[in-house]
Amino acid sequence: MSNLSEMFGSKVFNDRKMQERLPKATYKALKNTIQNGEPIDAETANVVANAMKDWAVEMGCTHYTHWFQPMTGVTAEKHDSFITPHGEGEVIAEFSGSELIKGEPDASSFPSGGIRATFEARGYTTWDPTSPAFVRDTTLYIPTAFCSYTGEILDKKTPLLRSMERLSEAAVKILHLLGKTDVTRVFTTVGPEQEYFLIDKEMYDRREDLKLTGRTLFGAKAPKGQELDDHYFGSIKTRVAAYMRDLDEELWKLGVYSKTKHNEVAPSQHELAPIFCTSNIAADHNELTMEIMKKTAEKHNLVCLLHEKPFAGVNGSGKHNNWSMSTNTGENLLNPGKKPEDNLQFLLFLAAVVKAVHEYQDLLRITVASAGNDHRLGANEAPPAIISMYLGDDLGALVDSIIEGREYVSHDKTKMDMGAAVLADFKKDNSDRNRTSPFAFTGNKFEFRALGSSLNIACPNYMLNTMAAEELSGFYEELKDADNIEEAVKGLVKRVLTEHKDIIFNGDNYSDEWVKEAERRGLYNLKSLPEAFAHFLDKKNVELFTKNKICTEAEMTARYEIELETYSKQLKIEALTMLQMAKKDIIPSVSTYIKTLTDAVLAKKALSVNIPSDAEQEIIVSLSEKLSKFAKEASTLQSAVDSAAGESSLELALYYRNTVFEEMQELRRVGDSMEEETAKTYWPYPSYSDMLFGV
């Protein structure tokens, strides 16, 4: 298929296909559900299911699956065929409304954080009509939410959908107060920029650590890393370009608005950014994008690494979550317009975000916490673990003038003169980009930059939506009875910005001074997942989620348990993988190499002429010492893992972080220094140079 517009969405049961294939009344009812959140009735579901099935069968499908996002970090699917017995030995393809609406996967093997132990093992998946169904291979995929038999949520989509509702309700009320009575719904919009690494499949297969943990646990630095800055936006290699082309086509067929692709900072690192859409679809599309990235790599004999820190010493991968709010009348609520100083609506929404980020900075940190992402935050390549926000020069100056009660003098956007007649002059971006800030205003949206590359973006987005909904509801309560709404809004904006200005920081987030300054301001600096999650169940956070009906306290506790358990398990797997690599590969290899050198020395000695063998002897001595240290470190790590214990899942996670993780670093240090001295043919694994420059 060469025609782009024909290809785009060809595998999606999208609006155009619904319109073509559904009776008018059914189409209208479904649209009402999608746009206004109205519940769907059984009759409509039946008609939709049948049309969907007919289309899917025409596309070559034999199966359908309820596609859902349990708490595991990957999506799940269970395939059922459409066949229904029909007469003697005959079958027909059938798909009913109830099969579309509800699935009953056995939930017992999905993490539930203890919720399910007391209930039935059964779980339900329910159709999410707001995210379109699509076809992959011979299966019709139906995006669904996942809950336990008794209705506890067990997935990431449900809280996101709920948070979108809450935000819409709160924002619409505010807009009505401000006179925008034509607005009936507000959507949150998201555009996630996705980073990834591509390495050769053959090298990947020889790395036990990449296969089992997604990151290299050993590996001496390559002589060349990213210091020359020659990879970022560099010309794309033929093999990578072919991969990207394939990936784009696959994504376009699935209706994903893949837009931008370029090389990233580290060698072998790349980025893909889609055009933004509503949060729910953006989250589903991002999950799909990550899956298709991995699948497409296989076809090109490559492996796509989505781990946050696959290689030490070069940048890891993250995700920038561009987030805003838009009305059903098409207005972006974070657009400052030409004169933001007079745009009370914008200032009110801005104040809500500032207050939200300040009050729930711990939740924002928690939502991006993972064993992988802990390697990045605070490592001068990603924003620090301290959450703050950046408003840019112009908006920053406006906020200052509001706080100080001064008049704001807007200076025109600086015109940049490129100094060459052939280059058109362009206006400097209003929001100069401070790349070190975790939460930056970028013109008409906020960019939350602390996400790890493998994270499901549903989580940070339901946090953001819920926080913003909470603040907007509070504002509404305060403003609803005001005699002079304009004065009341002005007063509120000034007060809120003054109270919460400590969250705003426009300087270098990587500097040591900021760490001290942030401490002085009383901002959190939660360095690792366990330290961050220790705050998840703080009273204010439980209140936020329960009051806004995003989840219950029991569901929050379940999430807390799952995250901490997963963290400990991941670190344990990493430690055991290191030990296996050490014992089965590294120690024998180095020992063999030492023996070879020793043999060479002995052979030389056996000759009657005196041939110097100091080169070999030096290596023999040095490597033998290191090998002995390495074996000791390995047994220290082994005992650290063996004695892992904790009174609670939090304590266990902290033990893994403070003891096991530290021992792993020690073992690696000695291992990497042996790699530097061992002949390439003897070292059991592909080197950093091979992997990073091998595609």
Residues lying near ligand ADP in the complex (CB under 6 A): 189-191, 193, 273-276, 320, 322-324, 332, 442, 444-445
Residue 332 vs 689, nearer CB to ligand ADP: 332
State in angstroms the smallest separation of the CB of 472 from ligand ADP.
17
Which CA distances in Å does 576 have to 531, 567, 635, 670? 23, 14, 11, 17
Query: What dihedral angle (degrees, nearest 10) is formed by the CA atoms of 433, 437, 443, 446?
Result: 150
Residue closest to ligand ADP (Cβ): 191
Task: Give which of ligand ADP, Mg ion, none residue 687 binds (C-beta under 5 to 8 Å, depending on kind).
Answer: none
Q: Which range touches Mg ion (CB under 5 A), out of 133-141, 253-261, 316-324, 459-467?
A: 316-324
- As a whole number of Å, the end-to-end CA separation of the chain is 28
Question: Cα angle vertex 673, ends 671, 678, to 5°?
Answer: 90
Rounded to the nearest whole angstrom, what is the least distance from the CB of residue 426 to ligand ADP in the complex? 14
Q: Whole-angstrom Cα distance, residue 559 to residue 71?
A: 8
Residue 443 CB, nearest approach to ligand ADP (Å): 7
Measured at CB, which residue is nearest to Mg ion?
320
Instruction: Return the closest-CA partner of residue 253 out of 136, 79, 129, 128.
Output: 136
570 binds, among ligand ADP, Mg ion, none (CB under 5 to 8 A by kind): none
Q: Which residue has the tokens 């989840």?
A: 551
Q: How far is the CB of 327 from ligand ADP (least distance, A)?
A: 12
> Of 123 and 192, which CB lies nearer to Mg ion in the complex structure?
192
Options 23-31, 143-151, 313-321, 618-626: segment touching Mg ion (CB under 5 A): 313-321
Burial 482-508 (b: 16+ CB within 10 A, else e): eeeeeebbeebbbebbeebbebbbbee
Could you tell me the sign of the dihedral formed by the alpha carbons of 523, 526, 531, 536, in that order?
A: positive
Q: Which C-beta is closer to Mg ion: that of 162 or that of 320?
A: 320
Q: How far is the CB of 468 from ligand ADP (least distance, A)?
A: 13
Q: Which of 320, 365, 376, 445 binds Mg ion (CB under 5 A)?
A: 320
Query: How near is the Cβ of 274 to ligand ADP at its closest, in Å?
Result: 6
288 binds, among Mg ion, ligand ADP, none (CB under 5 to 8 A by kind): none
CB of residue 265 to Mg ion, shortest distance in Å: 13
- Name the binder of 436 from ligand ADP, Mg ion, none, CB < 5-8 A by kind: none
Angle between helices 344-359 and 393-404 (to 10 degrees): 90
The item of Mg ion, ligand ADP, none sharing an interface with residue 444, based on CB under 5 to 8 Å by kind, is ligand ADP
When CB distances are held under 5 to 8 angstroms depending on the partner's kind, the choice from ligand ADP, Mg ion, none that residue 300 binds is: none
Torsion, Cα of 111, 112, 118, 119 (10° steps): -90
Least Å from the CB of residue 394 to ligand ADP: 16
Nearest by Cα to 351 from 222, 188, 236, 472: 472
Count other C-beta atoms under 10 Å from residue 31's C-beta.
16
Q: Which stretch binds Mg ion (CB under 5 A): 319-327, 484-492, 594-602, 647-655?
A: 319-327
* Min separation Cβ 387 and ligand ADP, Å: 19
| Contact of residue 332 among Mg ion, ligand ADP, none (CB under 5-8 Å per partner type) | ligand ADP
Identity of the residue, 224 or 262, whose beta carbon is nearer to Mg ion in the bound complex = 262
DSSP 374: G
Distance CA 668, CA 677 (A): 14
CB of 631 to ligand ADP, least distance (A): 47
- Residue 657: which of ligand ADP, Mg ion, none does it interact with, CB under 5 to 8 A by kind? none
From Mg ion, ligand ADP, none, which one binds at residue 174 (CB under 5 to 8 Å depending on kind)?
Answer: none
Q: Is 393 exposed, middle or buried (0-12, 13-18, 19+ CB in 10 A)?
A: middle
Count the site residues for Mg ion by CB under 5 A: 1
| In the complex, least distance from residue 364 CB atom to ligand ADP, rounded to whole angstroms | 17
Q: Do residues 398 and 494 touch, judged by C-beta distance below 8 A?
A: no
Residue 82's CB: how many other CB atoms inside 10 A? 18
Q: Which residue has the tokens 């066949």?
A: 83
For Mg ion, the closer of residues 270 and 320 by Cβ is 320
> Which residue, 65 or 437, is less far from Mg ion as judged by CB?
437
Helix, strand, coil % over all residues of the chain, rounded to 5: 50, 15, 35
DSSP summary character for residue 150: T
Alpha carbons within 13 angstroms on the beta-carbon side of residue 240 total 25
Using left for φ > 0, alpha for ψ between -120 and 50, and beta otherwise, residue 167 falls in alpha
In which residue are the tokens 């920053």 written? 396
Q: Which is nearer to ligand ADP, 274 or 392 (CB)?
A: 274
Q: Closer CB to ligand ADP, residue 276 or residue 560? A: 276
Q: Name the residue nearer to Mg ion (CB basis): 264 or 563.
A: 264
| CB nearer to ligand ADP: pick between 307 and 320 | 320
- The binder of 445, among ligand ADP, Mg ion, none, by C-beta within 5 to 8 A per type, is ligand ADP
Helix axes 24-36, 42-58, angle to 10 degrees: 100
State the residues that interact with Mg ion by CB under 5 A: 320
